[in-house]
Chains A and B, each alone.
Chain A
Amino acid sequence: MSIPADLKYTPSHEWVRVEADGTLTVGITHHAQDLLGDMVFIETPAAGRTLAKGEECAVVESVKAASDVYAPVAGEVIAANADVEASPESVNQDAYSAWMFKMKPANAADVAGLMDAAAYRKLVESEAH
């Protein structure tokens, strides 16, 4: 199971990379894409949108089902990835390079509340039982 140690995670299966400038890059985990199957449609949030923590802000749809992507913390969307919208299958190929959006957290300290790789691994393993 691919869970990079340098990323942060949410219980709703988003991964979060904390960039050097304090902004966040967000995508869905390898485990999430594995559960959903072949991706066929992705909708990302518009830049400038203000997000509450846990707000539905992107949609990923596989052949099987539609699923929401949630904001890991409160903040503002600063960029969306047009490439994943054009090639949804890139999420299946490499979930950790196929980011959905970048955001600026409202409070930098909120990032500390995200799960680390070990905690996320535990969650995934517990869901498997």
Chain B
Amino acid sequence: MLKQTPLNATHRELGAKMVDFGGWDMPVNYGSQIEEHHAVRSGCGLFDVSHMLPLDIRGANVRAFLRRLVANNVDKLQVSGKALYSCMLNEAGGVIDDLILYFMDESWFRLVVNAGTAEKDLAWMEKMNADWGMGLTLTPRRDLAMIAIQGPNAVQALNEALPGVDSITANLKPFNAAAMGEMFIARTGYTGEDGFEVMVPVKSAPFFWKALMEAGGKPIGLGARDTLRLEAGMNLYGQDMDETTSPLESGLAWTVDLKSGRDFVGRAALEKSEVTKQLAGLLLLDRGVLRSHQKVHTQYGEGEITSGTFSPTMQQSIALARIPLGIAPGAEVEVEIRDKKLRAKVVRYPFVRNGKILIA
């Protein structure tokens, strides 16, 4: 039996094509994935991301707990509502999950974790909570639905759908959040566009979704969510990194704080490890489509594509690939696609941000 979000009936009414996404019955598209992709880059798209889990951690030791639990430094969060992206590592330095942490107050942080890893994450956090004697309360918030509103018209759509929110959206900076009654409004996303991720009580979700559609928001499925995030150069857990890969070889070194003296889980392993790979962007020069697990041949050895797709914005195939360190942007590599070796160029990513192509 697949799990359903509070918007399941809404997706079906809209004629969505539903798929099993890690045990969740989710919309992959509502017609054309490419049209949905463009709608987000040029207007406003709505995503049901209620399969992801908001998780409240409360208690006097919450900051001390998170200093040890995650690889990024929660001490960067000093203003209520400020958000931080981080990996949670195992002792070997592998990535258990990537997540967003919101600082609410000194006894309350809110985390958002991936759907497929939610149970594993929760078990891990409860174990650390017990092992370290932190005495914290972890509360999964399945009573909240989450809707992402993304695109250049996201502000306008949200303001129109939710009377009174304009006083918040006018001042909310990227990677910050604010509460409005029972709602939680964060200026975050997974598309490379301006926008919000809004948590609402489950019972209000279908009504809120319809109001957002009336305000010009177009429903967007998981298919376009993937092409948008890949153009934006954002990692996908389980594909670009997992428990067997180091964040330092997954393009996530910027999220790993080795400067402060904190002793976080995985730090010792990372400091001992030798980094030999990097996550790089690829642009396919020949005709075809890059896909995950295709082999990449470089002058310093082999690599592998972790995420690949056809970019609707660039009208060309792009990918993220884990390749040997030392291969610089501009280098040409070969990708094995079926029985052929096709030419690709190593590029710096993101590929697209705020509707603009960043690759020359």
Contacts and interface: CB of A to CB of B under 8 A. Distances in A.
Check if A and B associate: yes
B288 A41 contact: yes
A37 B33 contact: yes
25 contacts: A37-B28, A37-B29, A37-B33, A38-B32, A38-B34, A40-B34, A41-B288, A41-B289, A41-B310, A41-B317, A43-B288, A59-B338, A61-B288, A61-B289, A63-B33, A63-B34, A63-B223, A63-B227, A63-B309, A63-B312, A64-B28, A64-B223, A66-B289, A66-B291, A92-B32
Contacts, number: 35
B287 interface: yes
Interface string A62-83: 0110100000000000000000
A36 to B, nearest CB: 10
Interface string B291-316: 10000000000000000011010000
Interface of A: 37-38, 40-41, 43, 59, 61, 63-64, 66, 92
Nearest to B284: A41
A41 B338 CA distance: 14
Contacts of A61: 288-289, 310
Contacts of B32: 37-38, 92
Contact of B33 (A38, A41, A43, A66): A38
A66 B294 CA distance: 12
A59 B291 CA distance: 14
A63 B36 CA distance: 12
B29 A40 contact: no
A37 to B, nearest CB: 5
A66 B317 CA distance: 13
Interface residues of B, number: 16
Given A37-B223, A40-B310, A59-B338, A64 B33 contact: yes
A64 B227 CA distance: 9
B227 A41 contact: no
A37 B224 CA distance: 11
B34 A41 contact: no
A20 B255 CA distance: 66
A61 B287 CA distance: 11
A92 B29 CA distance: 15
Contacts of B288: 41, 43, 61
Nearest to A38: B34
A107 B317 CA distance: 40
B310 A63 contact: yes
B289 A40 contact: yes
A63 to B, nearest CB: 5
A92 B35 CA distance: 13
A14 B338 CA distance: 21
Nearest to B309: A63
Interface string B262-295: 0000000000000000000000000111010000
Contacts of B34: 38, 40, 63
A82 B310 CA distance: 20
A37 B312 CA distance: 13
Nearest to A88: B310
Nearest to A34: B17
A45 B113 CA distance: 46
B147 to A, nearest CB: 23
A37 B226 CA distance: 14
Contacts of A63: 33-34, 223, 227, 309-310, 312
Closest 7 CB pairs of A and B: A40-B310, A38-B34, A61-B289, A41-B289, A63-B33, A38-B33, A37-B33
B337 to A, nearest CB: 9
A104 B29 CA distance: 39
A83 to B, nearest CB: 15
Contacts of A41: 287-289, 310, 317
Given A41-B317, A63-B227, A66-B289, 20 more contacts: A37-B28, A37-B29, A37-B32, A37-B33, A37-B223, A38-B34, A40-B289, A41-B287, A41-B288, A41-B289, A41-B310, A43-B287, A43-B288, A61-B288, A61-B310, A63-B33, A63-B34, A64-B28, A66-B291, A92-B32
A63 B223 CA distance: 8
A92 B32 CA distance: 10
